[in-house]
Amino acid sequence: MKSADVTLVTGDRFRVDVAEDGSQQASPLTAGKKSSTFAQFSYGGDTYVIPAKAAPYLGTTLDPRLFDVGYLVRAKLDDKHAKTLPVTLKSTAAKAEALPGTSVTSSSGGTVRAKVAKKESAKLGALLAKNWRTAAKGGSVPALAGVKQVGVAVPSGAPKLPAAPPLAQSATAKAVPQAAAQGVRFHNLTVDSVDLDGKPGVVVGFVHNVNSLSLGNFALDYPGDGKRAFSVPEGTYSIEASVFTGPASDLSNRAALVIEPEITVSKDTTVTLDARKAVQYKPTLAAPPRPDMPRIDFMSFIREDALGNQTGVPANGMGAVAGFFNMRIGSASSNGSPNLYVTPTKPVTKGKLHFLGVTSLTSGTGEEIGAGPTYKMVLPSEGAISANQAPVLAASDFTTVKARLHDLPSDDPTNGPLGYWATAFLPWTWTSIGFTDTLPAGDRTDYLYSSAPDQVVWEWSDNLNAGMRLNDLRRTVKPGQVIEQDWNGAPLTPSIAADYVLTTGFNLVAGSHDGKDTKAPVAQMCAACRQDDLAALYLKGGGDNDPTHHYYWATTGNRVRFYRNGELAYTSDIEPEAPNLGPTNLPMLPRAADYRLIWSANDENAPGAVSTTDWTFRSAPGGAAATLPKTAFCGVDTSRGCSFVPLLFVNYDLTLDEHSRAKAGQAFDVGFRVSHQQYQAAPTGVTATVEVSYDDGDTWSKPVDAAANAAGVFHAQITHPAYDQEHRWVSLRVTAHGTDGASVTQTNIHAYRLDG
């Protein structure tokens, strides 16, 4: 994995990790009050990071590709290779020069080429935010004076600029000529509207055929239209649109989402979208911990035709960003916190209608999540939209999640984890919800609610203070249930978790999911399984106090070596990039043999910390069949069975403070578990020893025998020396043996730090 630091034209800075397959993950390089809210999504294989201050300008003044961090890295516009960002502007040279940090290099025919100095780019971001606030107060459109558009100027020798992502999921009626050729009768469909005040409205949204999108799919484009008429083939149509009290570009105008999901067009037809029928979407707490809690609300919807083709505003991706702002179906401080409204509907009889309301409440300030509780609510509706969109929820309606968050051990002070949030998966979509800015390490309590608990699968994520993201196993939850979690409370080791087929990115609108895989989101690949003469490994790091915690991707600095009967059969040294261990196919011998697998990993975000896992095991073709649930599959060929590769996993259970420190000069209990991978029976007859080092592994103590208690946790007692600045780091080595001949030596350099 490669990493690069990227500065955007707004001055926001991100670290971009590029995996071997080219996929990217971005993490903010600023935290706390200096950080900004942003959305992240994937399109065309690239990751886009959109700061909130830039979102109102997308598709009008700002080209979204300015925020394509994947392209910026490929074009060598990252901070290592470039101090400026080349841009094109539809402007005069004088107006371009007036922008903060911008210097013109050429001008011709109303197009200006210029460079934005990265060290001054935050001033440009501040100008965008200022103009947006001014526009919001005055009810006008945010803009840059004299500048119609800003885009990326492709440097000489750089790759071609990718196609811009669509800012809404809309389409023209491409297949209408085809319908005409087939002799289909056409009629006029007129769309009119009445706004919340009973006056003629302005409409932004979609009109499409429910039998097949190919027969008609029209956009009611931003910033909106009044009455519109379309010539459409006979059939059933659906309209989903926001009805505004004026142009959508005027932030003082109010809106309601009006959905007419089934309209029969057998003659010239007029449909009036009446916003006065809408009800307010606003879930609230019966007993809030404080009044006027900062909140984020968002409504998304998907209308499927009879063939499964989809139109609407998804719960993630660029469509979510566009819907949030352009259709005014999202509410947060970044867009003035408007009230949200939606019309109830009758159940559909053709195709499908998916509706999802998402709400987050925080007891923090809105800019910072704080140590107080958050409330995350997901309200899905299938087939129809109910009239009750403002439930008052009691404490008994929620699932309680108690967590302890730890920082990675460090000599430097930290602001705490960079994010802690939940992702809700539904059969048709997923959405990550919550306030993801910096929050303090330590104990916290949060609450989850779903109006359809059997449909929603939850996944918690903790973005560590050094930027990597740990994930929990996905699960359904029930009202009144209490979940306890401990994050990053121990040195990170290989996770026992099977690998999820569907992964998401960093934040609200990351990743993609077409909703058509019925096994998603809980579908998994066996962590380490054998088929014939191949062992398919989908191993991930990130195991902490909980051995099932895991990264989606491996950290940087991985090295793998694989031996068969003592001879080296594979090494990652022959490859130009350090790989993920998932997926990796290892060549096995066609007979019983002894194997050794060594995985070393170090993370540049935790200098000095090195994890090395040294496995030995014996395996033969035709081993006992792995018992997997219906939602888990074998690698190589998912249609066939497999056998488990008998790896032993060590994960620590240590008593450390929230900064991953232990007291010097005191006795200390080294607790740990020895497990098999997820879904494999627990190992039996395990013996284990512990060694400790205070000089980064140069010398080690004599092995101390560890004894397992009734819960299966091993314990070994050591005594820390008095605090010494030169020997403040503790390294651990655990060696474990199973009765089947398998063994593991787990070594963690800089496992934790002593506190003097």
Look at residue 153 in the predicted model and tell me its pLDDT: 96
User: Average of pLDDT values for 141-153?
Assistant: 90
Helix (H, G, I), strand (E, B) or coil at 308: coil
C-alpha pair distances (Å), 521 with each of 261, 296, 429, 430: 27, 24, 9, 9
pLDDT at 451: 97
Q: Which CATH class is domain 584-755?
A: mainly beta
141: confidence class by pLDDT, cuts 50, 70, 90: low
Contacts of 16 (CB under 8 A, 6+ apart): 3, 4, 5, 6, 24, 25, 26, 47, 69, 70, 72, 73, 78
| Torsions phi, psi for 136 (to 5 deg) | -65, -40
pLDDT of residue 30: 62
The mean per-residue pLDDT over the stretch 337-344 comes to: 97
Kindly report, residue by residue over 681-699, the tens digit of the pLDDT: 999 999 999 999 999 999 9
User: Prior bond to 453 cis, omega within 30?
Assistant: no
Task: State the pLDDT at residue 518.
Answer: 35
Mean pLDDT over 306-326 rounds to 90
Residue 112: pLDDT band (50, 70, 90) is: very high
pLDDT in tens, 711-738: 899 999 999 999 998 889 999 999 999 9
User: Is 399 a residue whose pLDDT tops 70?
Assistant: yes
Mean model confidence pLDDT for the chain: 88
d(CA 87, CA 84): 9
User: Is 336's pLDDT higher than 70?
Assistant: yes
Which letter, b or e, does each residue of 427-463 get, where b requires 16 or more Cβ atoms within 10 Å of its Cβ?
bbbbbbbbbbbbbbbeebebbbbbbebebbbbbbbbb
pLDDT at 436: 59
pLDDT at residue 715 in the model: 98
| Range with the poorest average pLDDT among 108-117, 127-136, 196-205 | 127-136
> Domain coordinates of the chain in residue numbers?
2-152, 584-755
Average pLDDT score over residue span 203-212 = 93
Query: Number of helices and strands (H, E) in the chain?
Result: 5, 51
Q: Which residue did the predictor score with more confidence, 618 or 234?
A: 618
Q: How confident is the model at residue 222 (pLDDT cuts 50, 70, 90)?
A: confident
**Under 8 Å between Cβ of 394 and 410:** no
Task: Please give the structure tokens belonging to residue 311.
Answer: 């139109």
Residue 756 — pLDDT band, cuts 50, 70, 90?
confident
Per-residue pLDDT at 170 exceeds 50: no
In this prediction, residues 100-128 reach a mean pLDDT of 95
pTM of the model: 0.78
pLDDT band at 420 (very low <50, low <70, confident <90, very high): confident
Tokens of 198: 């009973």
Mean pLDDT of 385-402: 98
Q: How confident is the model at residue 508 (pLDDT cuts 50, 70, 90)?
A: very low
Higher-pLDDT residue of 377 and 419 is 377
pLDDT at 168: 38
Q: In angstroms, rounded to a whole number, what is the distance separating the alpha carbons of residues 241 and 203?
A: 6
- At 363 the pLDDT is 84
User: Average pLDDT for residues 508-534, to the nearest whole number?
Assistant: 67
Output the pLDDT for position 367: 55
pLDDT band at 587 (very low <50, low <70, confident <90, very high): very high
Residue 174: per-residue pLDDT: 36
Amino acid 716: pLDDT: 98
Structure token pair of residue 512 = 């993609």
Supply the pLDDT for residue 31.
44
- pLDDT of residue 702 exceeding 70, the answer is yes
Give the pLDDT band (50/70/90) at residue 366.
low
Other beta carbons within 10 angstroms of residue 306's beta carbon come to: 14
pLDDT value of residue 368: 61
> What does the pLDDT average to over 520-547?
92
What's the pLDDT at 692?
A: 98
Report in angstroms the alpha-carbon separations of 570 from 4, 21, 559: 29, 20, 11
Residue with tokens 């005594």: 719
Tell me what the mean pLDDT of segment 152-181 comes to. 64
Most confident of 187-191, 418-422, 570-574, 739-743: 739-743
What is the pLDDT at residue 409?
Answer: 87
- Name the burial class of residue 123, with classes exposed (0-12), middle (13-18) and buried (19+) by CB atoms within 10 angstroms of its CB: middle
